Structure 1
C-alpha cells in the first residue's frame, strides 16, 4: 500500500530542524505533503516566499499554501478542532498514512487523520521542547538570524537580509559610504566588481559588449556570496543598472542578457540610495570628467524614474550621508510596504 506523509507548520523561517523532519519523511514515504501556514503575527516573510524555499529544496514534495488557516496555537479542544477541520478541508479527501511533526500537536492530529503519529527528533524521555538531533527553533532564529545562520540554507538566509544598493555617477561617494556603513553595522559590503574587471580587461579605456555583460553577471554572483555572509544588512556599491548605462554610453546598445539583468534590479534590492554629485569630483585617469559625471547622474535618475524604482537621495559629507541612511534603516521593515514605513497621516 502506498504511503503518504503530511507535515505542517509556519517554517518562519525554514531551518535545519525542519529540514531534518522533511528529509526523514521523504526517505520513509512514497509521497509527502507539506502544508505551510500564513502567519503575519509571527513573521513578515510572506507565505509564498516560505513555501518556495521548500519547493526549491524539495521539488518532490507537494506544498500547500494555507492562506486562510487558523492562527491560534494551543492545546485546547477548540483550537485542536479548528486545525483538524482546516487540514481535512485542504486535503480534499486525500488519504494520509503518516503525520510528521516535532511538536505536541502530532498526537491529536494523527488521531484525527487516522494516521501514524511519526515524531521526529525526539527521544523516549524527552518533552516536545527538547530537540536532540538539531538543537534549534524558529523562535531562536528569528531573534538573531546571523547568530544561527549555520542552521539556515543560503537561499533562506539571503531572504532575511536587507539588501541596500548605492547608485550614482562616478565619483559620488558610493564606495566610501558602503564601506563605512558596513563597519558601522558590523557586516560585509559588496565592492563594485566592474571597477576590478575594468582595470584588468580594458583596452584604451574601453570594454566590449560581452565584457560589460560579464561584469553584470560577475557582480550578481559576488552579491549572492556576500548575502550569505552578511549580518542583517548587505551594502552594495552599484548594480547592473550602472553597467547597462555604461554599455549605452560606449556602444549605444546592450546585450539582451545585460538588459534583462538591468530589468531585474527593480525587484532585487530592498532599498536604493542615490549618491548626489555635491561632493568634489575626483579626477582620476580612469574617469571621463566632471561634465560627464553630471550627464551620467541625470541618466541614472531618469532610468530609476522610468523603471518606477523608489530611491532615497543622500548628500552632504560622509557623516551626513551615514546619518541619513541610518535614519532610513531605522524606519525600514523588510517585507513591509515601503510607504507604510515612511508615510503617516500626518506626513
Structure 2
C-alpha cells in the first residue's frame, strides 16, 4: 500500500474544535497531512499569518500552505467550483493526495478533482455544533470550542500607563466592571509591599516583577470577555529600574521590548489629577519627572498611545469612544479616517 496523504482546507477564522476534529481525524488516518489556509479579509480582520501560526503551533507535523491569492467566491456553481479546483491543484503542486478531508458540500467536487477519496467528517455537526460565523459573532459565548492559544489572540489587551497616582488602577477596574470582564492589577505594587527593603528593590527583583506580571496577564487573557484592562506593564518596570539603579537587567530589557507589540491599545494617564501622597510614593515632583520619562520612552519606541486627561468620567468616556471604533488587528490609524 502506498503512502496515504490527506488534504484539508479552510479559512479557520477563527480555528475552532470543529476544524480541529477534521485535522485530527486526518492525522490519525494519514501518513502525511496538508492544510491549505485562505486569506479572507472580507470575513475576518485576523491576519492569515496569525491563523496559520495557530495551525503550526498546535499541529507541528502538518504542512501548512498559505493561500494569499485564493478565490474568495463561495457557491455551488460550475464556475466557482472550477476556480477552486484549479487553485487547489496549483497549490499542492506535485503532491499526490489520496484523501480529501472536510465537513462541507465541496468535499465531493474537490475530491473528484484531486482523484482522492472524499472523507467527510462530522458533516452534520453532531460532534461539535459550532461554526466560524457563530464564534466571530460572540467568541466569549463559544469559548469552550476554542483552544486557549486561539482565544487569547481574540482578546483586546488594553494597557494603562503613567506615573504613580495618575488613576491607572481606578480606570482599569472601573472599565472591567462596565464591560463585564477582568482586569490586571499592577503586580509591581503587590511585590514591592512584600519584598522592598528601605523602599528599594534589586535589579533581579525588578525582573521578577515584570515576569510575574506577564504570567498573571496571560492567565487573565483566558478569562477575559473581549477586553483585558491592564494596569501598567514591563515598560514601567524598565523606567523604575533606570530611576533607582541607572541601569536595566538584560532580561528586563527583553521584556520591555516585547511590550512594544503586545498591547492593542495604550493609554497614558496624565498628571492633571490631585496627587495622592501615600507612604509608598516619592512625591509630586518625582511623579512629574517619571511621567515625562514614560512619555518619552513611548515616543522613542514608536508606540502609539492616547493621553487620558480630566476626571474619571471624562477619561472613561474617552476610552469607550476609542473601544467603540476599534477593531483588533485593524490599522490603528483607521480610527481617524472612518
Partner Cα separation in structure 2 for residue 220 and residue 155 of structure 1 = 15
Report if aligned partners of 1:158, 1:228 keep a CA contact under 8 Å in 2. yes
Please list, as runs of the form range in 1=range in 2, the aligned pairs for 1:92-107 lying within 5 A after superposition.
92-107=93-108
Report if aligned partners of 1:331, 1:342 keep a CA contact under 8 Å in 2. no
Please list, as runs of the form range in 1=range in 2, the aligned pairs for 1:1-347 lying within 5 A after superposition.
1-122=2-123, 130-343=124-337
3-state SS, counterpart of residue 212 of structure 1: helix
Long gaps (5+) in structure 1:
123-129
Superposition CA RMSD, Å: 0.8
- TM-score, normalisation: structure 2: 0.99
In the TM superposition, residue 331 of structure 1 has moved relative to its aligned partner by: 1.3
Report if aligned partners of 1:188, 1:231 keep a CA contact under 8 Å in 2. yes
How big is each residue's C-alpha offset from its partner over 1:140-186, in whole Å with a ceiling of 9 and x where there is no partner? 10010000001101111111111100000000000000000001111
How big is each residue's C-alpha offset from its partner over 1:263-295, in whole Å with a ceiling of 9 and x where there is no partner? 111100010000000111110110111110000
Partner Cα separation in structure 2 for residue 287 and residue 343 of structure 1 = 41
How big is each residue's C-alpha offset from its partner over 1:65-111, in whole Å with a ceiling of 9 and x where there is no partner? 00000000111101110000000110112111100001010010001
Partner Cα separation in structure 2 for residue 22 and residue 60 of structure 1 = 11
- TM-score, normalisation: structure 1: 0.96
3-state SS, counterpart of residue 283 of structure 1: coil
Long gaps (5+) in structure 2:
none
Partner Cα separation in structure 1 for residue 258 and residue 281 of structure 2 = 27
Partner Cα separation in structure 1 for residue 27 and residue 319 of structure 2 = 46
Partner Cα separation in structure 1 for residue 38 and residue 296 of structure 2 = 41
In the TM superposition, residue 5 of structure 1 has moved relative to its aligned partner by: 0.4
Partner Cα separation in structure 2 for residue 290 and residue 301 of structure 1 = 17
How big is each residue's C-alpha offset from its partner over 1:308-346, in whole Å with a ceiling of 9 and x where there is no partner? 0010000111111100101111111111111112236xx
Partner Cα separation in structure 1 for residue 15 and residue 289 of structure 2 = 46
In the TM superposition, residue 37 of structure 1 has moved relative to its aligned partner by: 0.3
Report if aligned partners of 1:44, 1:335 keep a CA contact under 8 Å in 2. yes
3-state SS, counterpart of residue 97 of structure 2: coil
Matched residues, number? 337
How big is each residue's C-alpha offset from its partner over 1:237-269, in whole Å with a ceiling of 9 and x where there is no partner? 000000000011111111111001101111000
Partner Cα separation in structure 2 for residue 343 and residue 17 of structure 1 = 37
Report if aligned partners of 1:333, 1:341 keep a CA contact under 8 Å in 2. no
